[in-house]
A and B are shown apart, each in its own frame.
Chain A
Amino acid sequence: MNYSQFLYMVPEATLVAILIIAFIADFASSKTAERKWFNPLMCVMLLVQTVVTFFCGEPAEAFGGMYVATTAANVMKVILAAGTLIVVIQSRNWMSRPDTAFKEGEFYMLVVSTLLGMNMMMSAGHFLMFFLGLEMASVPMACLVALDKYRHHSAEAAAKFILTATFSSGVMLYGISFLYGSTGALYFDDFTAALNNGFSTLTIIGLVFFVAGLGFKISLVPFHFWTADTYQGAPTTVTGYLSVISKGAAAFTLCTLLMKVFQPMAAEWEMLMYILIVASITVGNLMAIRQSDLKRFMAFSSISQAGYIMLAVVGVGNPAIAAYGVTALSYYVLIYVVANMAVFTVISAVEENNNGTTAMSSYDGLYKTNPKLAFLMTLALFSLAGIPPFAGMFSKFFVFMAACQQGSVAAYVVVFIALINTVISLYYYLLIVKAMYINNDSEPLPTFKSDCNTRLALALCTLGVALFGVCSCFYEWIFAAA
């Protein structure tokens, strides 16, 4: 075996290094003492990791095709690493609480290993490698959800998550076995070659079960049921992480798999995607309208956003326009990361100052007492709703454009339904804005001062929301790689 092949895996190798350093640091320091240096250390290391990933984007193949690095995947790795960095930055407030401080090391290690798993998943060249990556991201995620196990519904959320995740993994493995059974191949390249010679009913069932497994991660309807309970119960920082990073990685993987591996079955999976997209966007929206808890609300909002992300996929079956789809997807995820993280940072800041409740009614009159926070929240919500000139409008535009390029009547219908749904989503996002600015509360939340990490995270996110759309260089960067 040629060990120099590890050199192709720079993003993953650096993550392993960070994992080891975090482990040693956690192990070597006293858990009872205050560890002020820990969070900055992690932030710096993740920043380095992001930069390193950014600069080593050469496509490569290692370990006999098990690991395949592409420029598009590299872009996604950079986006996810940057998103993780924001999560870690904003986690400090939570991590300095007395009842969680001793778990700080665990939290970082779990986050980094999840990211590692997702990177592996995105660069897999083989079904088993892919499945390993997926599980590697999944198991630490369950631990993360359970991190606050004596508080709220953290334990319940984790139990629901791990049970449904196991179930979906089972279904997915079942699907993979169908795929293997009908083609006799597990390497993606061989598999596509086999598909080119025709496929059977078994392959189609395998495809659906396989997509169901990934759809669970992306929380597409009808595989979304875990989302609301888990998002609500998990610690807010973890919910943020779950809603953007995990979703983004899974969406990107599904996109590239459909584009390359399942390309000969494009007619089949396009139909599948239409159903999933329309169901996700609509059901997510309808459920979101009725929520009274902000985290639960964001769960349903994220389901409908997942539908929008998947809109980018409908055209990737055609190699001529596939690049637009991949770009639109990565770009959407990039903007979704900053906008959603901004919202979750605000939620987390409010939660810490409001005895840990996340009810929407606690946002009544927030503008009067905490105008800056309310303003930043408004910007992020505007971006999520797709109001120009914020980045969210551009990302929605590009996914719609990518879907329209597919050209079939069905695609146009789906885009039309998605457009109607943006109006509905505008309504419920504005409900929060209304609560903050217009609703009167006899006892609004008292004015509080956030710590510098929360501010930094919010500043980064807001900068992203304001600039990613207007500056065309970000879109071009992603497009050049796709």
Chain B
Amino acid sequence: MEYSYVFLILLLPLLSFLVLGLAGMKMSHKAAGLIGTLSLGAVTVLSYYTAITYFTTERLADGTLPTIVPFNFTWLPLGSLSFDLGFLLDPISAMMLIVISTVSLMVHIYSFGYMHGEKGFERYYAFLSLFTMSMLGLVVATNIFQMYMFWELVGVSSYLLIGFYYPLHAAVHASKKAFIVTRFADMFFLIGILIYGYYVGSFSFNFTGTEIQMAECAAPFLQGDVSRAVAAGGLIIPTALVLMFIGGAGKSAMFPLHIWLPDAMEGPTPVSALIHAATMVVAGVFQIARLFPLWIQYAPDQMSIVVYVGVFTAFYAAAIACAQSDIKRVLAFSTISQIAFMMVSLGVCLPSHEAGVVLDNHAQLGYMASMFHLFTHAMFKACLFLGAGCIIHAVHSNEMSAMGGLRKYMPITHITFLLSCLAIAGIPPFSGFFSKDEIITACFQYSPVVGWIMTGVAAMTAFYMFRLYYGIFWGTENKELHAAHTPHEAPWTMTFPLIFLTLITITCGWAVNFGSFVSASGKVYEIHLDTQIAITSTVIALLSIGLATYIYKGEKQPIAEKMYKMFPRLHRAAYKRFYMDEVYMFVTHKILFRFVSKPVAWIDEKIINGFIDFTAWSTNESGESIRSWQNGDVRTYAVWFLTGAVALSLILLAI
């Protein structure tokens, strides 16, 4: 069979994880890193080969790419439902294979330099392998349950990697926070899956078969009032989908479940690049894209929830990003904002205008735009994070105040960072321009209000990214700090990934037509720029960059200081992330702990525990009292035996 080798894509990182996890302690750092990197290199080659073979296969008669399942075996059959493990190849999973393997490989190479000499080097590579395996398993899942299993595995490996510097209190705290918040959201995901499985009778992503079963599940209602039947039967799928979306919103850090992502920056910077910028955090977007046929067909009205959450998060995160001083936090909030762009883009897809057609490239332009932005964002955001890693590596601090004027010392980092900033700001011909432009076009199709808001957020993006850029590479140089040790350019293992990712960022917007790979209906979609929107957004982005240049480029920044003085409260609130963490603290500590946990603890202690104590006491006592039966005398045993048999006979005869 053609794709018979694909199981290796999942198996190799798993093996690498097991080898490094079990025997890594005994290896030298170099050997451990090489094992991880080489196995990942092999996975990358296989992924590229798979994706290229897949995208070059002949299209079906209706112009779509075939969906291929190289293998799918049943792990646990449960009556009509079953838990399967398999491998699904379709346009988005093939695209994700490329994204994950590329970024992961770059991070593996980069970590050679960045993590050099760290304690627990082999543990780090083991966890990276585990993460890569889980993430790949997530995107190639053939059913929602497999997706959920790998989803949780991804969460675990993220937890392990955020807490990598476990002697640090902040890292432990952040890893716990990330895990608990995402687990809380995943609870809804699981409930959604169970509702879906219960009513639809299948976990599979092959939705063509499910339509029939959906009709059956609606059938009992049809016996009564037809209108009520549609209402009741029709709400089951949307409910399940919205619950699953909450899970996705947790992973993808949508408001108000975003609070874990900024703290997750306590992990090593390459990890932030891989997990908290390029791959894991887009799992929520991927989940919606995966279930897209269901959303558009059965829950088109509920998609507005996705839009509202996305629009608000995009704006909210961008506003916070403007006031942060820790460079990784700025990038974290920028990530939240950009993922919200992808969410909005999926949400603004409209049902098809043509009768009988469900999936329509034009009405659902947002689907393609979202996936496109996912791809480009993964590349330039990974590059930005890795660049931030180089800078932190050089100045040993995350704070912008410790930086400034670094362009002289780190030319490669400077150039790649600048190009990636241009990409995220949406300046042509960099990739971000093309994908963001498609998103904004899709938003205008949906409603001009959303379109204008998103354009505004895009302008904010350009502004805060260049605020960051000038803060790091221009501005006042921290002479005292730099006198102690001069910042220097990172080794080639760290700069090579930057250059590679930048090259992708420069070319992938115009060199290929993304619409021919991924589109809502699966047919080729020619991307054509809407000149009006393209020009408007470019001009706005340039204006924002100009504004940022004006305010932040100089050695002294009088305007910025004047602004802080003018709006001290607003700045403080944005700096404190609008007190969302404090709100959570209030709700959990002051309300939940006091009014729910304490009474429950009392019941547990006094009533439940009292009952258990009583059981234990009575068990002990009765054990003591029947001890004498076993006296070691064979005659007594025979008497008991016979008495027992006779007594049992009598009991049976009596009833």
Contact = CB atoms under 8 A, between A and B. Distances in A.
A216 B640 CA distance: 12
Contact of B653 (A204, A209, A290, A424): A204
B649 A205 contact: yes
B652 A225 contact: no
B120 interface: no
Contact of B622 (A222, A228, A286): A286
B620 interface: yes
Contacts of A171: 641-642, 645
A272 B652 contact: yes
A480 to B, nearest CB: 12
A443 B640 CA distance: 42
Contacts of A216: 641
A99 interface: no
A305 interface: no
B616 interface: yes
A225 B630 contact: yes
Contact of B644 (A223, A228, A229): A223
B2 interface: no
Contacts of B648: 208, 212, 272, 275-276
Contacts of B627: 287, 290
B226 interface: no
Given A287-B623, A472-B76, A212 B641 contact: yes
Contacts of A228: 630
Contact of B641 (A164, A201, A290): A164
B644 A472 contact: no
Interface string B608-652: 000000011001101110110110101011101111110011011
A427 B616 contact: yes
A222 B641 contact: yes
Contact of B619 (A163, A276, A289, A472): A289
Interface in A288-303: 289-290
Nearest to A206: B649
B5 interface: no
Task: Name B's interface SS.
Answer: helix
Nearest to A276: B648
Contact of B623 (A159, A205, A268, A286): A286
Most chain A beta carbons < 10 A, residue from B622, B637, B642 = B637
B567 interface: no
A303 to B, nearest CB: 11
A201 B650 CA distance: 10
Contacts of A225: 629-630, 636-637, 640-641
A472 B640 CA distance: 42
Nearest to A175: B645
A168 interface: yes
A208 B616 CA distance: 34
Contacts of B623: 286-287, 289-290
A208 B637 contact: no
Interface in B319-339: none
B434 to A, nearest CB: 47
Interface residues of A, number: 38
Interface residues of B, number: 31
Nearest to B631: A225
Contact of A209 (B632, B637, B645, B655): B645
B645 A212 contact: yes
A290 B645 CA distance: 27
Interface string A426-452: 010000000000000000000000000
A353 B619 CA distance: 34
Given A171-B642, A209-B645, A283 B637 contact: no
Interface string A138-178: 00000000000000000000011001100110010000000
B646 to A, nearest CB: 8
B608 to A, nearest CB: 13
B653 A201 contact: yes
Contacts of B644: 212, 221-223
A424 B630 CA distance: 20
Interface in A409-435: 420, 423-424, 427
Most chain A beta carbons < 10 A, residue from B615, B619, B630, B648 = B648
Nearest to A204: B652
Contacts of A160: 634, 637
Contacts of B624: 290
A46 B77 CA distance: 34
A296 B645 CA distance: 25
A322 B287 CA distance: 43
Contacts of B652: 204, 207-208, 268, 271-272
Most chain B beta carbons < 10 A, residue from A225, A226, A424 = A225
Interface of B: 75-77, 615-616, 619-620, 622-624, 626-627, 629-630, 632, 634, 636-638, 640-645, 648-649, 651-653, 655
Given A201-B653, A204-B649, A276-B648, 18 more contacts: A159-B634, A164-B634, A208-B645, A209-B645, A212-B645, A221-B644, A222-B640, A225-B636, A225-B640, A228-B630, A271-B652, A272-B652, A283-B626, A286-B626, A287-B630, A290-B623, A423-B615, A427-B616
22 contacts: A159-B634, A164-B641, A171-B642, A171-B645, A208-B648, A209-B649, A212-B641, A212-B645, A221-B644, A222-B643, A225-B629, A225-B636, A268-B652, A271-B655, A272-B652, A275-B651, A283-B626, A287-B626, A290-B627, A423-B615, A424-B619, A427-B616
